[in-house]
């Protein structure tokens, strides 16, 4: 294994990326390589004035971009699709350096924007085409639904998938004719900056896709106050703040928030099929996936068998700091987050939980590594039993009946993702129908739902508002204009007409139209 920074990530290359970030105050943030703690680059921090200027430039570019025919806009993304794939390994290097994830997960992340592009290249023209409908008076009136861009979209992207969320949430907004101002997390700004440079190489007009950087409380208010719509992925606590401010500004927002995601394993499951997917669902990206599994419910009749198989797989996962494909588990994003994960495990142990494997930080590998951890005996008075841990930690629970498993799975304030495993798909679908969650994967942990770009993906309860993907994943970035035409003045009583007669005529007309299925 090699922890040497990839040769392509030269100081000049990194400096060129961060030059597009406005920072008039001269303040910077030390962006470090997670594996070693080595300084990568000084990231400029944007002032409120910088953010306002970025929005002003974006609005100017958007006014011209919105006039482009949809076909011409989509041609940019045809070229971008190729560029993103051709440069995927450079993007992978950046993602690893800034986030610490293992290379397998990093390269998978690079696939998300091309998948989004491919989906909306098929759908965008149809979704944005005006739809003509009948008006209130058959033959004499019409109404046309026209989707127009909202203007400038503010996107606040998280650190766990900086490239995927930084670009994939922006792509349908841009296709719809908007400009975008994105605020990536300071820790993970490099990969989205690189992705934007590739979009511009594909022909996206300069100034249309802006980047501002800074800590959330410093940057967020100005960004929201200048945006026409906000897309946010992150914690429920921050989502509340963003939703409240967007509401005061009377703009829309889409919020994908936290989860305490359950997996129900039924008693007819095939162990070998289940254990690999379950391990990924819990430990993929070192547990730093919004949809990852934090609670696994196992049937009493097979509890020991399934527990032993899962614990053995978790214990054998290869953990390492490496820019090759050997490690199955990478680093957490920062020492601070490692400490948060450790506090959940320590709290659980102190209150009576048992560690079946893992449970310790691994400073011998790198400053933010933590072992894959399986707990037993977790209760709701523990941090790991109620709040989102967002790390490589899972609790195993025994259930006696399927109804009990469903009740326990739903016993949470969250509702982002869930998983059901069974050898009988119909039986699993019956369980899935009873789970309170925006996404439910059958015989998979999380990837199938998220990768299904044609279907909306979002959360319920405290896990969010709105959705990405599907038709609404693009249409949410548009306003609807109703263009109504009346060809002849037939609405209302005509001059000199007796109003009682007009009312009788109106009622008779409505009855006739209903009978003829006209209205």
Residue 2 pLDDT > 80: no
- Rounded to whole angstroms, the Cα distance separating 406 from 404 reads 5
Q: Are residues 421 and 280 in the same domain?
A: yes
Nearest to 441 by CA among 407, 473, 464, 418: 418
User: How much of the chain exceeds pLDDT 90, in percent?
Assistant: 93
In terms of domains, do 227 and 247 share one? yes
- With bands split at pLDDT 50, 70 and 90, how would you rate the model's confidence at 159? very high
Same domain, 155 and 302: no
Residue 465 inside a domain? The answer is: no
Residue 361 is classified by DSSP as: B
Based on the residue annotation, tell me whether 305 is a catalytic residue of this protein: no
Instruction: Give the per-residue pLDDT at 31.
Output: 98
Q: How far apart are CA 166 and CA 284, in angstroms?
A: 20
One domain, residues 382 and 337? yes
Any idea what the CATH number is for the domain that residue 276 is in? 3.40.309.10
Could you tell me the pLDDT band of residue 419, with boundaries at 50, 70 and 90? very high
Averaged pLDDT for residues 466-493: 95
Within 10 angstroms of residue 448's Cβ, the number of other Cβ atoms is 15
| pLDDT given for residue 494 in this prediction | 86
Cβ partners under 8 Å of residue 403, min gap 6: none
Residue 345 pLDDT > 90: yes
- How far, in Å, CA of 99 to CA of 166, rounded? 14
- Catalytic one among 200, 256, 294, 388? 256
The tens digit of pLDDT for each residue in 122-135 reads 999 999 999 999 99
pLDDT band for 497, please (50, 70, 90 cuts): confident
Q: Considering the domain boundaries, does residue 459 fall inside one?
A: no
Residue 401: other Cβ atoms inside 10 A: 10
Judge if 270 and 233 occupy the same domain.
no
297 and 337 in a single domain? The answer is: yes
Residue 217 lies in a domain: yes
Residues 201 and 69 in one domain: yes
**108: in domain:** yes
CATH code of the domain covering residue 185 = 3.40.605.10
Q: Is pLDDT of 418 > 60?
A: yes
* Domain-located, residue 483: no
Average pLDDT over residues 136-151: 95
Do 182 and 311 sit in the same domain of this protein?
no
317 shares a domain with 226: no
Give 504's pLDDT tier (boundaries 50, 70, 90).
very high
Q: What percent of the chain stands above pLDDT 70?
A: 99
pLDDT for 519 equals: 66
Report pLDDT for 4: 84
Average pLDDT over residues 288-296: 98
User: Which segment of 88-102, 239-253, 294-308, 491-505 scores lowest on mean pLDDT?
Assistant: 491-505
Which structural domain, as residue segments, surrounds residue 402?
261-454
Same domain membership, residue 270 and residue 228: no
Pair 352, 377: CB distance under 8 Å: yes
Torsion angles phi and psi, residue 57, rounded to 5: -65, -40
In this structure, are 317 and 437 located in the same domain? yes
At 419 the three-state DSSP class reads strand
Residue 326 reports pLDDT greater than 60: yes
How far is residue 234's CA from residue 32's CA, in Å, rounded to a whole number? Answer: 21
pLDDT grade, residue 3 (50/70/90)? confident
Number of compact structural domains in the chain: 3
Same domain, 326 and 372: yes
* Structural domain contains residue 43: yes
Residue 57 lies in a domain: yes
Mean pLDDT (the chain, rounded): 97
In a domain, 1, yes or no: no
């Amino acid at each position: 294994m090699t922890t040497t920074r990839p040769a392509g990530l030269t100081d000049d290359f990194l400096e060129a990326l961060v030059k597009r970030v406005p920072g008039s105050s001269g303040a910077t943030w030390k962006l470090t390589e997670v594996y070693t703690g080595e300084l990568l680059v000084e990231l400029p921090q944007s002032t409120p004035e910088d953010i306002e200027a970025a929005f002003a430039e974006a609005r100017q570019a958007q006014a011209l971009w919105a006039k482009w025919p949809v076909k011409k806009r989509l041609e940019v993304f045809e070229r971008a699709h190729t560029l993103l794939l051709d440069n995927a390994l450079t993007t992978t290097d950046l993602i690893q350096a800034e986030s610490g994830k293992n290379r397998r997960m990093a390269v998978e992340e690079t696939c998300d924007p091309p998948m989004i592009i491919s989906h909306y290249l098929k759908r965008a023209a149809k979704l944005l085409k005006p739809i003509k409908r009948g008006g209130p008076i058959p033959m004499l009136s019409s109404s046309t639904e026209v989707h127009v861009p909202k203007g400038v979209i503010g996107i606040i992207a998280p650190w766990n998938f900086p490239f995927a969320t930084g670009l994939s949430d922006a792509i349908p907004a841009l296709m719809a004719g908007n400009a975008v101002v994105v605020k990536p997390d300071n820790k993970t700004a490099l990969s989205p900056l690189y992705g934007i440079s590739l979009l511009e190489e594909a022909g996206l007009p300069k100034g249309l896709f802006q980047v501002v950087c800074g800590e959330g409380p410093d940057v967020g208010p100005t960004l929201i106050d200048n945006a026409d719509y906000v897309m946010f992925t992150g914690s429920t606590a921050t989502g509340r703040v963003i939703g409240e401010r967007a509401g005061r500004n009377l703009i829309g927002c889409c919020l994908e928030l936290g989860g305490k995601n359950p997996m129900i394993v039924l008693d007819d499951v095939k162990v070998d099929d289940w254990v690999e997917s379950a391990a990924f669902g819990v430990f993929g990206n070192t547990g730093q996936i919004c949809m990852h599994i934090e609670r696994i419910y196992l049937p009493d009749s097979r509890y020991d068998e399934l527990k032993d198989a899962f614990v053995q797989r978790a214990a054998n996962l290869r953990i390492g700091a490496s820019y090759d494909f050997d490690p199955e588990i990478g680093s957490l994003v920062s020492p601070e987050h490692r400490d948060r994960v450790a506090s959940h495990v320590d709290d659980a142990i102190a209150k009576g939980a048992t560690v079946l494997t893992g449970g310790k930080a691994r400073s011998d590998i790198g400053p933010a590594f933590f072992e894959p951890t399986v707990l037993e005996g977790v209760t709701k008075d523990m941090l790991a039993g109620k709040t989102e841990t967002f790390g490589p930690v899972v609790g195993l629970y025994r259930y006696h009946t399927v109804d009990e498993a469903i009740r326990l799975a739903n016993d949470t304030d969250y509702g982002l993702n869930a998983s059901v495993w069974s050898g009988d798909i119909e039986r699993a679908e019956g369980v899935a129908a009873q789970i309170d969650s925006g996404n439910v994967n059958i015989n998979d942990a999380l990837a199938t739902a998220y990768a299904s770009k044609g279907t909306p993906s979002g959360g319920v309860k405290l896990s969010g508002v709105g959705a990405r993907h599907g038709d609404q994943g693009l249409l949410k970035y548009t306003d609807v204009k109703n263009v109504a035409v009346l060809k002849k003045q037939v609405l209302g009583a005509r001059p000199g007409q007796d109003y009682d007669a007009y009312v009788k005529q109106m009622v008779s007309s409505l009855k006739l139209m209903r009978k003829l299925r006209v209205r």
